[in-house]
Structure 1
């Protein structure tokens, strides 16, 4: 069986649905001010308003904030490429911090480098004022929904 190319997997309706719901998603994305801006086959562009973040003693945004944003978008970019009902889970994420991040608007994008029915390898980059501040590469497990059994429901 031939593997589908990223363009063949891409579901524009799922991408539009993700844009409609994800920017109102409670939890960490809301806390971090992450907004998904647009999708293309295997690509996602986003931004995060970091003006409300409490700075570290050195006056920068904590690197964990940047890591959480890149983790979020490396997972989100796979959803328009996977079957409905499946979900993505980060199993590995490697980051390189390149420059300090100040409060303000962080722009980030994610690109799927490779995808199978079970996992994806994704690269993400974060920019502040047009300058690369962090780069990440992660592996996203693609998880199929579990069948509900009588035993599990009991």
Structure 2
């Protein structure tokens, strides 16, 4: 897939978003164009009820774009029960990027970095009851002996070195 995708996975409240913020900042500092995709298992809305774009979507528009000099936002209606795969989403919307980092998508076949905090769980999602072969690293607040590299949860530079070596070199 172009660009490469790395998924940041963890149990809720572990620090996925915080780590993603650090990884994005570090990759941007190194000159890369970075995309971020957040998976939401529930329905969400970026439109606000009563606004023109919301009204157009409510009227039946399958795709509504909102543009300004600073950014573009899109509301694209998926057919009922047909969420596009991560690969389809990345291929459709992220072709101009060097890498895409995702939050969630724990069941995808994309390479994963698991965030782990002992206070949240003693076991890992990807090395617990199931062995996920797509796990490439763990960011933890505790030292761990694993079959993949383990980084301190705050070592965004080290994780970026791994990402660059594996996917951007």
For the criterion TM > 0.5, the same-fold answer is no
Larger radius of gyration: 2
Please report the TM-score for the alignment, with normalisation by the length of structure 1. 0.28
Considering fraction of residues, name the structure with more strand: 1
Please report the TM-score for the alignment, with normalisation by the length of structure 2. 0.26
